Amino acid sequence: MSSPASSFPRLQSARLYGIVDLGYCTPAQVEAMTAALCEGGVDLLQLRAKKLTLPEIEKLARRMHPITRDHGVPLIINDHLEIAASIGSEGVHVGQDDEAVARARAAVGPGVFVGKSTHSLAQAVAAQAEAADYIGFGPLYATGTKPDYVPIGLQDITEVHQKVQLPIFCIGGVNAERLPEILTAGARRVVVVSAFLLAPDVQAYVRQIKSSLP
Ligand code: 3NM
């Protein structure tokens, strides 16, 4: 039995998910990066800062939020439910080793969407049973952004879309060169991190990827 699909229309229509990852930019660059990603056309934007302290991350989130809000882009906080709750972000994202979806939802309250990372078909189906609002599915390719994970390849993309009715964002090594084969494999939504943040012209690169999505 499938759980009902996400009730957030903005997730249903979202195709391109960007992440401001502090592994690729400095805190001083966060506003400019946020603006470039939003202006290029990301539909969702996450803040991910694995090496900063909670107060540092909260400060960055508070600096990003007015920019994302001005562009109508939901801001999603990676891992830190308390920061999501305190700044009033539109979403929170949890990994397999983080809080269960129900606990995350209880912490952030209704109206805030909860996404979950999944790394196999079984985890994707389990996240749907847990009533996540969307899932990340990957890493499709080996990626320096999440170096300890074994890539899952493209072969399960069609099947995950048959089994899981939530918005599915394919992630891990996504870039403009690989996008055609990822879409041919059945993906409809993608997350792009390093390819965006390291692009010489971030806004133009985002626009290029966005224009290739369904
Ligand atoms: N999560 P890039 S892969 C943050 O599979 C993240 O859950 C993944 O970065 C997952 O676009 C990943 O630079 C890294 O490869 C994505």
Residue type, 45: L
Question: What residue segments make up the domains of the chain, in order of their start?
Answer: 13-212
Between strands 189-192 and 113-118, the pairing is unpaired
193 assigned to a ligand binding site: yes
Helix then strand then coil, in percent of the chain rounded to 5, is 40, 15, 40
Q: 75: which strand partners?
A: 45
13-212: which CATH topology?
TIM Barrel (3.20.20)
Residues 6+ apart with CB under 8 A from 135: 115, 116, 117, 118, 124, 127, 128, 164, 166, 167, 168, 169
179 lines ligand 1 (CB under 6 A): no
Q: Does the interface ipTM go beyond 0.90?
A: yes
Q: Check: pTM over 0.95? Answer yes or no.
A: yes
Q: Which two tokens stand for residue 149?
A: 């994970």
What pLDDT is recorded for position 6?
Answer: 59
Q: How many CB atoms lie within 10 A of CB 55?
A: 9
- Choose one of 134, 168, 191, 197 to mutate for the ligand 1 pocket test, by most ligand atoms within 8 angstroms of C-beta: 191
Does the pLDDT value for residue 3 go beyond 80? no
Q: Which tens digit of pLDDT belongs to each residue from 154-185?
A: 999 999 999 999 999 999 999 999 999 999 99
| DSSP-based three-state secondary structure for 111 | coil
163 known member of a binding site: no
Is the shortest distance between the CB of 192 and ligand 1 below 6 Å? yes
Cβ of 152 below 6 Å from ligand 1: no
Q: Is 143 in the pocket of ligand 1 (CB under 6 A)?
A: yes
Average pLDDT, the chain: 96
Q: Please tell me whether 184 is known to bind a ligand.
A: no
145 lines ligand 1 (CB under 6 A): yes
pLDDT digits (tens, 9 = 90+) for 183-206: 999 999 999 999 999 999 999 999
